[in-house]
Chain A
Amino acid sequence: MDWQALTLTLKLSAITTAILLCLAIPLAAWLALGRSRWRLLAQAVTGLPLVLPPTVLGFYLLILLGPRTGFGRAIASLLGHPLAFSFEGLVVGSAIYSLPFAVQPIVAGFAAVDSSLIDAARLLGASPLRLVRTILVPLASRSLLAAAVLSFLHTIGEFGVVLMLGGDIPGATRTLSLVLFNQVEGFDYAAANRTATLLFVLCLAALVVVYAGPNNLATGPTSSNSRSRNRGSGND
Chain B
Amino acid sequence: MFEFLNRSKSISQIVVKRDPACRPIFMAMALALLAMVSTSISAHAQTAPLRIAAAADLQPVLPPILNQFRESTGIEVQATYQASAALTTQILNGAPFDLFLSADLSYPKRLLDAGKADTAGLSNSASPVSYARGTLVLWTRKDGHWPNPTLETLRDPSLQRIAIANPDRAPYGRAAIAALTNLKLLDTLKPKFVTAENISQTAQFAETGNADAGLISLTSAKTEHLASIGSYFVIPGNLYPPIEQGAVIVSNTPQRQNAHRFLEFLLSPPIQQQLAKSGLTPVN
Which residues of A are at the interface with B, using a C-beta cutoff of 8 A?
59, 62-63, 65-68, 82, 84-85, 104-105, 108-109, 111-114, 116-117, 142-143, 146, 149-150, 163-164, 167-169, 182, 184-187, 207, 210-211, 215-216, 222, 225-233, 236
Contact = CB atoms under 8 A, between A and B. Distances in A.
A111 B19 CA distance: 13
A184 B169 CA distance: 11
A169 B204 CA distance: 17
20 contacts: A62-B208, A67-B209, A82-B210, A85-B194, A85-B211, A104-B15, A108-B15, A109-B14, A112-B7, A113-B5, A116-B2, A142-B8, A167-B194, A185-B89, A186-B85, A207-B11, A216-B7, A225-B1, A226-B7, A236-B2
B100 interface: no
Nearest to A109: B14
B239 to A, nearest CB: 24
A113 B14 CA distance: 12
B169 A186 contact: yes
Contact of B209 (A66, A114, A116): A66
A187 B3 contact: no
Nearest to A225: B4
B15 A164 contact: no
- Interface size, B (range): 35 or more
Given A164-B201, A167-B195, A232 B3 contact: yes
A85 B80 CA distance: 29
A185 B3 contact: no
Contacts, number: 113
Contacts of A114: 2-5
B143 to A, nearest CB: 9
Contact of B4 (A65, A187, A228): A228
Given A66-B208, A168-B166, A211 B10 contact: yes
A112 B89 contact: no
B109 interface: no
A233 B3 contact: yes
B131 to A, nearest CB: 23
A62 B169 CA distance: 23
B264 interface: no
A112 B17 contact: yes
Nearest to B141: A68
B197 interface: yes
